[in-house]
Structure 1
Amino acid sequence: MLFINTRPQDRAAALTETLQHAGVSVVNLPLLELTARVWSEDLAACYAQLRDAQVIVVVSPSAVHIGMAGLAQTSLSIDQLKSKQWVAVGRATAITLAEYGISSITPEVETSEGMLSLPCLEQLRAGSTVAFWRGEGGRQFMMQTLVEHNIQVLNFVLYRRQLPPSAMQILQSHLPDLQMSSRYCMLVSSEASWLNWLELIRDQPDLLDKACIFVLGSRLVDVVTQTQMQFALNYPIIQLEDLNPAHILQHVQQVQENP
């Protein structure tokens, strides 16, 4: 069974090693590349209001590093923010925050819906402020939901997300194996990744029907299902509740047993 690991390069290693150790062939094909945005007046204004935030939501390890680099350009210190409630989208982000001395909480389900169900967000009073350390285009659903509940959002757009230039070359080098496979598995952890994949295989639409797609969270399942219906395809979709490599391996093994 061939597995396409689409996680960004700096976050792919643990899953790849777990799968390869279990005898699964893995192709590392990152569908997102993160590039820090330059310092701007908008970012400076967000940092100036950060003292007012009750909660700071951080969506990735990259957001931690870039956000802390921006903080160093202001008069604020990390110590002044330690009393805030920090929310990390997943374990890797929480570990990265801990490297800066910041304690955080993580949702059981590593999605926007999972974070919104946390008591620190679910029980916020109207007029409260939540800061988002995120990438361009990310977490729109979560921010809009909070705004609809009269929560003020501080929108830190810290980096851009784009399809890595090397993605097409990687796909082309493995295209013969994919075309010969009756079934392969791939991970989709964000809508941006999915849209990039559709663009990448635009000239190879038959590849979609060979896929067993592992999707993070119910909302992203809806997005992938819409594509399935649009093109009248029948690929299996497996919903993931987290990105734990051991859990993903279990699903891969189930697919191997029931191809």
Structure 2
Amino acid sequence: MLFINTRPDDRASVLTQALGEAGYQVEALPLLELVAEPFSETLQQLYFALLETQVIVVVSPTAVDIGMRYLQQAGLQLEQLKHIQWVAVGQATAQALAQFKIASVVPEVESSEGMLDLPLLKKQMDLTKIAFWRGLGGRQFMMQQLQQQGVEILNFVLYQRQCPTQSFVIFPEIVRKISLNQPVAVLISSEASWNYWQQLCRQHPCAAEWVYLVLGSRLAQILIKARDQAAQGFNIIQLENLSASEIIQRMSDWQGHV
């Protein structure tokens, strides 16, 4: 079965290798690349505000890399942030923080909903200020939910996300390899990647039997709504995380029921 791995190039190789060993034909089609925002006076002020912040939510390994680089540029040391509780959206982000000797809390479900269910963030009366190290447009839902609880949000926009130019070249080449009504699995890890995927499909329609593996319940609901509105017949498999073992197990379960 064909599997389209849409993870960014720097995070795709482990999954691609595991899928290949499990017998899948894999095509790489990164839907997102991350480009650093320039350091600014706004970021400088936000970094100084960390001295009075209780929690930093870090949404990706890229946010760790850029966030730590800019922390140094702002003239601060990690020693000054010993009071901070760190939250990582997933294990890859937690491992990136561990490189800086930072222990972090990771949700069971690697999504905004999963993080909001953490006891640390779930209606803690003494929680007043949280920083987000994130990309432009990311984690809006989570920030809105916390603001409604009366928490002040420090919004560190460290990078922007875009669809790699090369993917607009690669996608039609992949489409040409797909037979009519062939089952094709596609990994969709965020709303932004779903939007870029739809853009590619509009430019190069393909009558495949799409099977979308999506991260978390909120993203699954977005795809269900899109399916209902467009009267399209595609399959949706909800993932709890983006590990290779989770993805291969869910695919195996689905194939066992079709």
Q: TM-score, normalised by structure 2?
A: 0.96
Once the two structures are superposed, residues 199-234 of structure 1 have per-residue CA deviations (whole angstroms, 9 ceiling, x without a partner) of 011133444x52000010010011111111121011
> How many Å separate the matches in 2 of 1:89 and 1:167?
26
Please state how far the C-alpha of 1:126 moved relative to its aligned partner: 6.1
Please state how far the C-alpha of 1:42 moved relative to its aligned partner: 1.4
> How many Å separate the matches in 1 of 2:166 and 2:254?
29
Match of 2:21 in 1: 21
Q: Is the 8 A contact 1:126 1:151 kept in 2?
A: no
Once the two structures are superposed, residues 46-85 of structure 1 have per-residue CA deviations (whole angstroms, 9 ceiling, x without a partner) of 1110111110000000000000000011221012213310
Match of 1:201 in 2: 201
> How many Å separate the matches in 1 of 2:238 and 2:102?
31
What does residue range 1-259 of structure 1 map to in structure 2 within 5 Å? 1-125=1-125, 128-180=128-180, 182-207=182-207, 210-259=209-258
Please state how far the C-alpha of 1:10 moved relative to its aligned partner: 1.1
> How many Å separate the matches in 2 of 1:226 and 1:181?
22
SS of match in other structure, 1:250: helix
Structure 2: tracts of 5 or more residues without a match? none
Please state how far the C-alpha of 1:39 moved relative to its aligned partner: 0.9
> How many Å separate the matches in 2 of 1:76 and 1:136?
23
Q: Is the 8 A contact 2:186 2:212 kept in 1?
A: yes
Matched AA of 2:97: L
Matched AA of 1:43: L
> How many Å separate the matches in 2 of 1:56 and 1:154?
9
Q: Is the 8 A contact 1:136 1:159 kept in 2?
A: yes
Please state how far the C-alpha of 1:117 moved relative to its aligned partner: 0.7
Please state how far the C-alpha of 1:253 moved relative to its aligned partner: 2.4
> How many Å separate the matches in 2 of 1:163 and 1:205?
18
> How many Å separate the matches in 2 of 1:158 and 1:216?
23
Once the two structures are superposed, residues 13-71 of structure 1 have per-residue CA deviations (whole angstroms, 9 ceiling, x without a partner) of 11111101112111110100100000112111111101111100000000000000000
> How many Å separate the matches in 2 of 1:148 and 1:65?
30
> How many Å separate the matches in 2 of 1:187 and 1:144?
26
> How many Å separate the matches in 1 of 2:137 and 2:111?
15
SS of match in other structure, 1:133: strand
Q: Is the 8 A contact 1:82 1:102 kept in 2?
A: no
SS of match in other structure, 1:72: helix
SS of match in other structure, 2:73: coil
> How many Å separate the matches in 1 of 2:83 and 2:26?
42
C-alpha change, 1:179 and 1:169, in structure 2 (3 Å) is: farther
Return 78-87 or 154-163, whichever deviates more.
Answer: 78-87
> How many Å separate the matches in 2 of 1:91 and 1:133?
16
Q: TM-score, normalised by structure 1?
A: 0.95
